[in-house]
């Protein structure tokens, strides 16, 4: 167990070091989203990109040939990291999805408050981004929207929220067996489009899936996260005529 925790911490440390190679950025003030593209040449896509995320999901075209997402998530311990921008869960290797015949390994998942993805102009209270990577380096992100109006606490979130690291740079091992599948809705219908990372350097070429059915989050769970990150979401970006497709 200790080896798993140390491995996750090592991965998290690498990720934090990589993020610090660019200019500091924030969600508010002069280093906020409106200025990301000016902070560092490496962040140029944040202002010049034509396939930026998040976007408002509207006008989606039904494509009956779109395959379902095959989820192969495993229950395992993980490590929560406060990287100064969000709470990120570093997962044990082994969980993955298959889409269109390609395997994408789950690397981490993290949270945004309020939610970044809008559907017909409406944002939810929070969302979860589950970040996957294929063997050839392509990124696939699954967004799950969380809404307080559904009215009850999420059990998997409750297990994680018991260990939330409140201070930047702090890590908290979660020794409970956490299955990320507990963060997914029962209905696996989705919208999909090509977009970007929603944080600097805003790299494009990311395949996005926004789950159609939202999940529940309680008011207490929202407040607990908001006490750490009052706002950590990027504003909606111009779709620039991108095709948004929906499966059945």
- In the chain, what are the domain boundaries? 2-246
Answer for the pair 113, 226: CB distance below 8 angstroms, yes or no.
yes
Q: pLDDT value at position 149? A: 74
**Is 92 one of the annotated active-site residues of the chain?**
no
CA dihedral 212, 195, 37, 45 (to 10 degrees): 180
Q: pLDDT in tens for each of the 248 residues of the chain?
A: 433 333 433 333 333 333 446 899 999 999 999 999 999 999 999 999 999 999 999 999 999 999 999 999 999 999 999 999 999 999 999 999 999 999 999 999 999 999 999 999 999 999 999 999 999 999 999 999 999 876 678 899 999 999 999 999 999 999 999 999 999 999 999 999 999 999 999 999 999 999 999 999 999 999 999 999 999 999 999 999 999 999 97
The predicted model scores a pTM of 0.91
Determine the pLDDT at residue 152: 76
Supply the pLDDT for residue 148. 81
d(CA 71, CA 21): 33
| pLDDT recorded at residue 16 | 35
Out of 61, 85, 132, 163, the active site residue is 85
In CATH, what number does 2-246 get?
Answer: 3.10.200.10
State the pLDDT at residue 151. Answer: 65
Alpha-carbon distance 84 to 68, whole Å? 34
């Amino acid at each position: 167990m200790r080896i798993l925790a140390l491995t996750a911490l090592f991965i998290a440390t690498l990720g934090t070091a990589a993020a610090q190679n660019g200019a500091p950025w924030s969600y508010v003030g002069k280093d906020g989203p409106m200025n990301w593209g000016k902070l560092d040449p490496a962040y140029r896509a944040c202002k010049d990109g034509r396939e930026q995320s998040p976007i408002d999901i509207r006008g989606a075209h039904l494509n009956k040939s779109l395959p379902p997402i095959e989820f192969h998530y495993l229950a395992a311990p993980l490590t929560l990291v406060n990287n100064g921008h969000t709470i990120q869960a570093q997962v044990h290797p082994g969980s993955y999805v298959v889409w269109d015949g390609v395997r994408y390994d789950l690397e981490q998942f993290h949270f945004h408050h309020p939610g970044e993805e809008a559907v017909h102009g409406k944002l939810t209270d929070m969302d979860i981004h589950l970040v996957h990577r294929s063997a050839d380096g392509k990124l696939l992100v699954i967004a799950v929207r969380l809404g307080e109006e559904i009215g009850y606490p999420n059990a998997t979130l409750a297990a994680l929220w018991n260990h939330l690291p409140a201070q930047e740079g702090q890590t908290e091992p979660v020794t409970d067996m956490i299955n990320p599948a507990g963060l997914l809705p029962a209905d696996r219908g989705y919208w999909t489009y090509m977009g970007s990372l929603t944080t600097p350097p805003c790299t494009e070429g990311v395949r996005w899936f926004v789950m159609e059915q939202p999940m529940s989050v309680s008011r207490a769970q929202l407040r607990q996260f908001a006490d750490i990150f009052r706002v950590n979401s990027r504003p909606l970006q111009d779709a620039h005529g991108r095709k948004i497709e929906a499966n059945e």
